[in-house]
Amino acid sequence: MAEKNYLRVVDIHMFKEPDEINKQQHHTDKYYNPKLIVRRGQPFQIQIDFSRPYEPEKDQIWLEYLIGRYPQPNKGTYIPILIGDVLKPGEWGAKIIHKENNSIRLSIMSSSTCIIGKFRFYVAIRTPYGIIRTHRNSATDTYILFNPWCQLDAVYLDDEKEREEYVLNDVGIVFHGDVNEVKLRSWSYGQFEENVLDACLFLMDKAELELSGRGNPIKICRVASAMINSKDENGVLAGSWDNLYAYGVPPSAWTGSVDILLEYYSSKQPVRYGQCWVFAGVFNTFLRCLGIPARLITNYSSAHDNNANLQLDFFLDDEGQVDNRLTKDSIWNYHCWNEAWMTRPDLPVGFGGWQAVDGTPQETSDGMYRCGPASVQAIKHGHVCFQFDAPFVYAEVNSDVIYSRMGKNGSQVIEKIDTTHIGRLIVTKGVGTDDMVDITENYKFQEGSAEERLALETAVMYGVKKQTTQPSTYQPQKDVEMDLQMQKAVLGSDFKVTIIFRNKSRNSYTATTYLSGNIVFYTGVTKSEFKKHSFSAKLGPLSSSAFDVMITSAEYLNDLLDQASFHFFVTARINETGKVLAMQKAMVLEIPILQIKTKGEMVVDREMSVVVEFTNPLKQALENVTLRLEGPGVLRTMKKEFRQIPATSTLIWEVKCIPKRPGLRKLIASLNCDALRHVYGELNIQIQKP
């Protein structure tokens, strides 16, 4: 008779609600996702209800986790788990922690090197009639993510405040502008929003990363740096740097990553358009969503060195103007990339920690547009032999700027070498604050120090190309210094540029001086020259002289680009010696901001109002203006179009929403039209519990 009374599964409880034990202990309670989400290498609990009490002596049961189409034990895609007495740290196992009536409660440990993804779950029972499994039930699907809280995980990070920032913070800050005028804007990462986790896992499917490689953060970062851009494999974002954004969203209009990832997940086609901070913002969402600690960093005066020879060549024509035909290298006002935190068992000891990864398509690596992970520590010390792409990142922060012109006999005459212009400042958002933190010294030693020279020699030894000897023809004018200063200016106003000479010699000199003002993309590529000015400067002995040049708004407004960036070149030839002084400086105009206010009480599940205001600063009307507003946990991205905002008039837009999550939240807004881009506003708000 006992045969008939074999054990059957009646129900399975996953304890998967945000306020239940699993999501609380695994720091996954913020994911807007009804299924169980746990982090690897850490125990979680489930309860199984049977048709009668479970008897370990005679009942034989086991659990099964499966992922992918063809689950196999040796690939880690089919995982059978027997019930034992103890759980070994970081290895698959299960043990009973409570037994009552017909139910057992299990504690299950996953492997700390387990594949990241969504697993199917079954309970199997051996009966006289063969093995009987529970039916396929998507409600028991279990997501397993990286675990920075687990010491055995390759992404383990030992500081709780840093884990809260680099894994759990769903908003961040992008620093942009330029080194003399740092600007910041908020970015919504939104890694916990609905469907974002599935969209991030989809990227690995689209890249055809084999399942067995999906437990390895190095492989995932390398694959993702290629998948974030559309260059090779129809990845997430198409880049556009030409100020023409037909049939797409201008990069400056995005306020966060969620819209981009969800659009890609549904259309499977590249989303238009991105520039560096958009690629980096989406990459950061991907990494944090899967549980890899990540941060977005900005390198000011970033070298884009076409032939990786650690020098950027600017060719001057006979007048001392830059020759755009010959000059192929460019200096980006700033460039954003990401750092991901992980051990590097593939490298010698000491190169784990922050790894530079870059999703912006600049140069190919092993035949694809991707970059990293490159150990930041290896870059600092010049050990650029270690994979991946360290020489390119080394050049971005360490190149020299060389000004030269073609001599009469076709030889190249070097006029000036600037060794400190590149990688002037490297920054990221602070932990738990909105402060800017200077991390330049993570990437390079103090300019001119013995350590810096040594790191450079090491990099050259490992094959970074560089002309090591200064050319004998290079003898700069040492007794005259030239500087360029710019008045801060709001977009639409006039301003002045001042050229200052300091003659430190006892001689009188005259300097034939050229100033060229250019409107540039933030990548340092010139669109148009809007100002040409030349004059002869008399430099008295042992004295300083200043010369002002006025720039009016009429000269620049028609051609202004996205980021209101100017680039000034000054070259001065000392007539008495024939020597040339040269320098360049970028400048960014102040762009007006959006004001955000709230009306009414701010309580979970109760309606509230958000008001966005903007005053047009220009002397002309703005046409076809798009506003975007978003705030993770408060409201999904809203868009509104305005046909026209007359000169100096104010626009007001009111939105109603129902916040879903308590705590400190951020609202982020952007305004875009052809005449004005990169207009942002933000507001921190406190949402109360009901």
Q: Tens of pLDDT along 527-561?
A: 788 898 999 999 999 999 999 999 998 888 877 76
> For 39-48, 236-245, 472-481, 658-667, which range has the lowest pLDDT when averaged over its residues?
472-481
For the question of residue 605 being annotated catalytic, the response is no
- Give the Å distances, CA to CA, from 349 to 353, 378, 379: 11, 11, 15
Q: What is the pLDDT of residues 186-210, one digit of tens each?
A: 999 999 999 999 999 999 999 999 9
What is the share, in percent, of the chain residues with pLDDT greater than 70?
97
Q: Which residues are annotated as a binding site for Ca(2+)?
A: 398, 400, 447, 452
Per-residue pLDDT for 316 more than 80?
yes
Instruction: Give the chain's mean pLDDT.
Output: 91
In eight-state DSSP terms, residue 450 is H
Distance CA 673, CA 552 (A): 22
For the question of residue 276 being annotated catalytic, the response is yes
Distance CA 456, CA 428 (A): 25
Q: What is the pLDDT of residues 124-173, one digit of tens each?
A: 999 998 999 999 999 999 999 999 999 999 999 999 999 999 999 999 99
- Residue 36's nearest CA partner among 87, 292, 116, 44 is 44
- Identify the H or E element spanning 297: strand 294-304
Q: What is the pLDDT of residues 11-51, one digit of tens each?
A: 999 999 999 999 999 999 999 999 999 999 999 999 999 99
226: phi then psi, degrees, rounded to nearest 5 = -85, -30
Per-residue pLDDT for 470 more than 80?
no
Q: Comparing 150 with 469, which gets the higher pLDDT? A: 150
* Measured CA angle at 483 (ends 530, 494), to 5 deg: 40
Distance CA 468, CA 419 (A): 13
- Residue 225's nearest CA partner among 370, 82, 123, 79 is 370
pLDDT value at residue 362 = 78
pLDDT value at residue 433 = 95
Per-residue pLDDT for 306 more than 70?
no
pLDDT value at residue 319 = 74
Tell me if the bond preceding 315 is cis, omega within 30° of 0: no
Contact 58, 44 (CB under 8 A): no
User: Which entry of 170, 178, 305, 358 is annotated as an active-site residue?
Assistant: 358
Q: Quick one: residue 678, left, alpha or beta (phi over 0 = left, psi -120 to 50 = alpha)? A: left
Contact 446, 382 (CB under 8 A): no
End-to-end CA distance of the chain: 56
pLDDT value at residue 617 = 85
Residue 686's DSSP bridge partners are 664
Q: Comparing 43 with 321, which gets the higher pLDDT? A: 43
Distance CA 225, CA 392 (A): 14
Residue 35: count other Cβ atoms within 10 Å of its Cβ.
Answer: 15
In eight-state DSSP terms, residue 490 is B
Give the residue-averaged pLDDT of 476-481: 88
pLDDT value at residue 408 = 74
Residue 574's DSSP bridge partners are 511
- Give the Å distances, CA to CA, from 555 to 495, 525, 530: 11, 19, 6
User: Which entry of 114, 200, 276, 336 is annotated as an active-site residue?
Assistant: 276
Q: What is the pLDDT of residues 83-131, one digit of tens each?
A: 999 999 999 999 999 999 999 999 999 999 999 999 999 999 999 989 9
Q: Comparing 109 with 462, which gets the higher pLDDT? A: 109
Strand 311-316 relative to strand 400-406: parallel, antiparallel, unpaired? Answer: parallel
- Residue 472's nearest CA partner among 533, 542, 414 is 414
pLDDT value at residue 444 = 94
DSSP line for 603-632: BTTS-EEEEEEEE--SSS-EEEEEEEEEET
pLDDT value at residue 473 = 62
Q: Which residues are annotated as a binding site?
A: 398, 400, 447, 452
pLDDT value at residue 558 = 78
For the question of residue 114 being annotated catalytic, the response is no
pTM for the whole structure: 0.89
- Identify the H or E element spanning 285: helix 276-290
User: Which entry of 335, 383, 567, 678 is annotated as an active-site residue?
Assistant: 335
pLDDT value at residue 18 = 95
Distance CA 557, CA 620 (A): 10
Distance CA 644, CA 320 (A): 44
- Residue 398's nearest CA partner among 340, 443, 334, 465 is 443
Distance CA 241, CA 213 (A): 34
Distance CA 127, CA 3 (A): 8
- Identify the H or E element spanning 511: strand 509-520
pLDDT value at residue 423 = 93
Give the residue-averaged pLDDT of 583-606: 91
Q: What is the pLDDT of residues 356-383, one digit of tens each?
A: 999 997 777 677 788 889 999 999 988 8
Highest mean pLDDT among 271-275, 319-323, 456-460: 271-275
Contact 370, 222 (CB under 8 A): yes
Distance CA 138, CA 460 (A): 55
Per-residue pLDDT for 522 more than 80?
no
pLDDT value at residue 262 = 98
Give the pLDDT band (50/70/90) at residue 675: confident
- Residue 239's nearest CA partner among 279, 269, 273, 264 is 273
Per-residue pLDDT for 1 more than 50?
no
Distance CA 613, CA 212 (A): 51
